[in-house]
Amino acid sequence: MRLTRPAVLLASTSVVALVALVGTSGPASALSGTPTFTNLAAPASFSGANSAGEPSLGVNGSTGALMYMSGTTTAKITVSGAGAATWTDVTPPTSVANIDPILATDRATGRTFAGGLAGECSSLAYSDSDGSSWTQQGNACAGVLDHESIGSGPWKGAAPLGSTYSRAVYYCAQNGNDACATSSNGGLTFGQPVLVSGACSSLHGHIKVSADGTAYLPNAHCGGLAGGGITTNNGGAWTSYTIPGSSEPTNGFDPSVATTPDNTVYEAWQGGNNHPMVAVSKTHGSTWTTPVDLGATMNPAIVTSTFQAVTAGDNGRAAVAYLGSTTGGDPFAASWPGVWDLYVSYTHDGGVSWTTVKATTDPVQRGWMCAGGTSCGSGRNLLDFMDANLTKDGRVVVGYADGCINACAAANGTAAQSTDSYATVAYQSSGLGLLSAYDTAGTPTPTPTATATATVSPSASPSPTASPTGGTDPDPATPTVTSGQARTASSAPTAGSYQYTKILVPAGKSQLKVAMTGPSCGTLGLSCNPDLDLYVGNGVKPTTTANNGSSASTGNSETITVASPAAAYWYIGVYVYSGTKAGSYTVTATLT
């Protein structure tokens, strides 16, 4: 179920800077074909611009804002349709110092968590306004310290009794073993930590939560195999899974995991031979496809890799970003002579095939990386990880620290010059993305403006193929309703499924109101089966991560109001958030 959010308590200060794109290609007119990337570097005046080791990157699925954190600095990044990036300092007022920085944004709610280790626990704050204001959280502790991770997503089944927030929030850390704690109030406080049992020890990557509420904590050290921790009961117990055919690296950094709406899991890691590896599970980690060596998808082959970061979109679509090199040997030895570049490997068929592109035009790092943590004397400028995500319209974005700039980036640059850690985002400027609704979309969608709870103003979206004032229906397979016409249907008995209706909105309308009533959820709305949510899309079918309005409140009565809707076919999506039964619902769209 969903409940209202606590009030925001803290205000932040902002410093805005505009930077041009650094690279050879800008935004394209369509998301199709082979992906290309442009790199968005923070302006030199930006706080912490050149101390951005191990950055985290989140994306608000409603506003499209990119949230980037490294060190003690949190930035909001917006990219204009012309391809210019604006970096705004939105650091929480309480972010003064931390041992390990971490940030995560829940795409569905837009809530961003930011902070880091402050001794044995973490000092964190969350924002529901892309950093305009922050709420201080209680210290998050996992019983062990180091390399913390935070993430949120749907509850597994009905929310636990006493929960006051619509989503589960998890906090994990490590010290020989991994342990995680769960928050039932949106991250204000956390329960008792639970050790991850089974084959896995530390190091872990970023925690991710799938559409059905299963949470995954990827780990490359599970008895000689890659795998991770998993909970199927909202953190009450954590066990381990392993990936057959995988291998554990002698040295290296975090693996990564991502999921699609049908709960398919993609995990990527650095193999025992240091090659970039990926495998896919459709059974919550109990079985896996044979691991794929992504290095073999390039010529010459990528034989050294690290910093894997996975992101996923629609069913069957995922991407793996990583630093890679065509030089073999031990990249964690000080004498290693190789050069690192940023690569992104894509699948659009559920992992059956992969294609890889190089996302940078000059080295990200020259020479070795030290994997010895605080014992390193050099080679530690990039620290432990980078992060990947996707924009509101399905473009892959990678938050990384550039360790080779200025003289180092020149053709005669040297490893001795590779000591920087410059805040940068690799932005997919063209090519087929991860959200099918935008396969023929244009430039990034501008930020919408919220007018009230479950009420948003429309944001720009692709135009329908037919004129909104008449002409051929562009999508006869999707039922069309007229203003005030109630349509009753039955939901699918499968969490993560969608059903769509559409309405033709003529020019000049002041409001589109969509209301849904559905199955009773019992006393206080605690027993929804199914639990249905409502979404709308301007010209395209909406999803939980790409839409022009959403309503996900307690129970199955949902309402969305769009002010001054654009003249277009507007799609209405009913999404099964959770449940095992079909349920009858009625949707009514009204124009005024």
pTM passes above 0.95:
no
Q: Is the pLDDT of residue 448 over 50?
A: no
Both tokens of residue 418? 């590779």
Q: Is the peptide bond before 448 cis (omega within 30 degrees of 0)?
A: no
Residue at 324: amino acid letter: G
Residue at 31: amino acid letter: L
Percent of the chain residues past pLDDT 90, beyond the cut: 68
Q: Is the pLDDT of residue 132 over 50?
A: yes
Both tokens of residue 242? 């392993």
Among residues 248, 183, 241, the alpha carbon closest in space to that of 216 is found at 241
Confidence band of 356 (pLDDT split at 50, 70, 90): very high
Alpha helices in 147-271 (DSSP H): none
Average confidence score pLDDT of the chain: 87
For 143, 172, 180, 204, 212, the CA distances from 177, given in Å and listed in that order, are 10, 10, 10, 9, 26
- What whole-number distance in Å separates Cα of residue 127 and Cα of residue 230? 27
- What whole-number distance in Å separates Cα of residue 428 and Cα of residue 27? 8
Confidence band of 472 (pLDDT split at 50, 70, 90): low
- What whole-number distance in Å separates Cα of residue 4 and Cα of residue 133? 17
Please tell me the least confidently modeled range out of 123-127, 376-380, 489-493: 489-493
User: Nearest 5°: CA angle at 318, between 50 and 529?
Assistant: 115
Per the document, the length of the chain is 592
pLDDT of residue 522: 61
Q: What's the whole-number mean pLDDT along residues 337-366?
A: 98
The pLDDT tens digits for 287-328 are: 999 999 999 999 999 999 999 999 999 999 999 999 999 999
Alpha helices in 313-434 (DSSP H): none
Q: What is the DSSP string of 54-79?
A: S-EEEE-TTT--EEEEETTEEEEEEE
Report how far Cα 211 is from the mean position of its chain's Cα atoms.
13
Among residues 326, 360, 335, 359, the alpha carbon closest in space to that of 415 is found at 335
Instruction: Give the burial string for 299-312 (b: 16+ CB within 10 Å, else e).
Output: eeebbbbbbbbbbb
Structural domains in the chain? 10-438 (2.130.10.10), 450-591 (2.60.120.380)
